[in-house]
Chain A
Amino acid sequence: MTESGNVLPEVIIQKIEAEAGKYPTRRAAVKSALRYAQAEFGWISEDVVKAVAEVLDLERIEVFEVASFYDMFYTRPVGRFPVRVCTNVSCLLRGADDIMNSLCQRLGVEAGETTADGRFTVFPAECLGACGGAPMMAVGDDYHEDLEAGGLDEILERYQ
């Protein structure tokens, strides 16, 4: 914690300031601020909401409503690597259900759950815009396309 009681490290506050400088309003930097904070803490807690609100001169609700509106912000703790498996039409047509089932089986979780070691949380996802490589999933920021159930272990091993 900084002296002011803000949970955000100075380096993140500086990044938020740089982002805010691009726009005529500080509020426009809120998604970036939440993204930086989430990269640091893994999820958006009430303390993070409060801290971001302080840095950007916003009401806490103005930050929280954004954190809760967008899919990529987690308002509860999740695994270090969120796994988002596309289950929309183009992936469905090419075996997304098999990928989802196989993944859950390998990790011993149901959709929406986090592995016991805290590494992965598996989410069914809406179209991620990689239908040419269906079926696909995103692990953290990385896209993995043309998935086959047999190749999942090798991909997962890269995320420790």
Chain B
Amino acid sequence: MSDPSEIRVCLPPEDATTPWTLSSYQERGGYQAWAEVLRNQTPREEIIETLKASGLRGRGGAGFPTGLKLSFMPRDAQGQKYIVCNSDESEPGTFKDRDILRFNPHQVIEGMALAGYAIGATVGFNYIRGEYYEPWQRFEAALAEARQAGLLGEDLKGSGIAFELHSQRGAGAYICGEETALLESLEGKKGLPRFKPPFPAQVGAFGKPTTINNTETLASIPPIIRNGAEWFSRIGVENSGGTKIYSVSGHVNRPGNYEVPMGIPFRDLLAMAGGVQDGRTLKAVIPGGSSVPVVPGDVIMECTMDYDGLSQVGSALGAGSVIVMDETTCMVEVLERISFFYFAESCGQCTPCREGTGWLYRMIRRIRTGEGTHEDLDRLKSVADRIEGRTICALGDAAAWPVQSFLKHFRHEFEAMIPRKDAA
């Protein structure tokens, strides 16, 4: 049952029976924007300006304005350029791109075609996380349909415009969601993030200028081109245009993806997900995937779910991955699990991250097993502070932020696990 406040832009209508097929996508206006570009040879600037005006910001976590990002490309320069879709969805708590790929793959294809055209790229790659077998199959089937229909390939509809698109499967590595690690992986290497600059817009995939966008971002583009920038920006709030898919998981009655206007009060989102499981009390929420700072329940209940709203409470929208924790949750156990994740997934390139994530994990584990000391609490903070901002990519920050925020808001739970020296 569709909730009245749900507005589906990237997810297909709930009543569509096979929404992943070309015919279903076309019935709801799919490929109209692409067909118009092929017909009219729309100026590239026009598409970029529309995206800028729409307020669309990157949905992968960083929230960078999409139109601006596309404008960084040397679009009129000669030579091969690429558009890359980041479908390496791996941030714990995030499962929106999986559903976009499974249920609306053609909209990703059309979004990549439009973005590719806007930056002068004739080839695109969609990097799909290796574990997403069913989504990959759906995407491949959609690619075949689109090629068959003359929507991908050379000289499309006699326009002289070419756009070819391939998928590549990952093989299990969280770090490949970082855009330059993804490029390394796309090239057949280990996923080690690159130093920036040069940025991908100068030196990207295979040494060529490249723009990389998240799946949800690219899927947002066709409806924006079709319906106009104003239509999209009006759905959201100031500084956060459009809809957002929130992946709600953890202690709620109805976990799942909810696509709603940006700026929805957390309270309403929680209600859509059926409220806290079994009527228990909300304790805390990680609002944007496991790397973003945790927010205490009473604070987030007064918060809106958008870039500014979450920034005001010291956290971030991230990928819109909302992990809900009720009163029974042991925060030390949760942080231990999160810290193990970043320890396991650190690529090992930068010493502060490679060594620091292990220190963090081992200290938290020590505390959880009753062998910690009060010095450990200060040391945890100190190690986290020394990782943050000192690594090539944001994985180091992602490992530090949970530790800093869990200690800030729930220090008493960590202290309670430390044996008292004077205890008999």
Contacts and interface: CB of A to CB of B under 8 A. Distances in A.
Interface string A26-48: 01111110110000000000000
Interface string B19-40: 0000000000000000000000
Interface of A: 22-25, 27-32, 34-35, 56, 62, 65-66, 69-73, 84, 87-90, 92-94, 126-134, 138, 141-143
Interface centre among A34, A56, A66, A73 (most CB of B within 10 A): A66
Nearest to B136: A141
Contacts of B282: none
B325 to A, nearest CB: 6
A93 B251 contact: yes
Given A94-B250, A129-B90, A132-B248, A89 B338 contact: yes
Contacts, number: 145
Contacts of B133: 141-142
Interface stretch (B5-13, B41-49, B56-64, B181-189): B181-189
B274 interface: no
Given A129-B131, A132-B95, A29 B90 contact: no
A66 B97 CA distance: 25
A27 B206 CA distance: 11
A35 B169 contact: yes
A32 B93 CA distance: 27
B341 A127 contact: yes
A89 B188 contact: no
Contacts of A130: 95, 98
Contact of A89 (B174, B247, B256, B337): B337
A134 B249 contact: yes
Given A25-B206, A132-B255, A134-B255, A93 B250 contact: yes
6 contacts: A30-B188, A69-B190, A89-B334, A92-B337, A94-B255, A127-B290
Given A69-B191, A93-B249, 18 more contacts: A22-B166, A23-B206, A25-B188, A25-B206, A28-B186, A31-B185, A65-B189, A66-B171, A88-B290, A90-B93, A92-B334, A92-B337, A93-B323, A129-B97, A130-B95, A131-B93, A132-B95, A132-B249
Contacts of A56: 188
Interface residues of B, number: 53
Nearest to B172: A71
Contacts of B329: 93
Considering residues A27, A56, A88, which has the most beta carbons from chain B within 10 angstroms of its beta carbon? A88
Contact of B92 (A73, A84, A126, A143): A126
A27 B98 CA distance: 27
A71 B255 CA distance: 27
A134 to B, nearest CB: 6
B170 interface: yes
B185 A88 contact: no
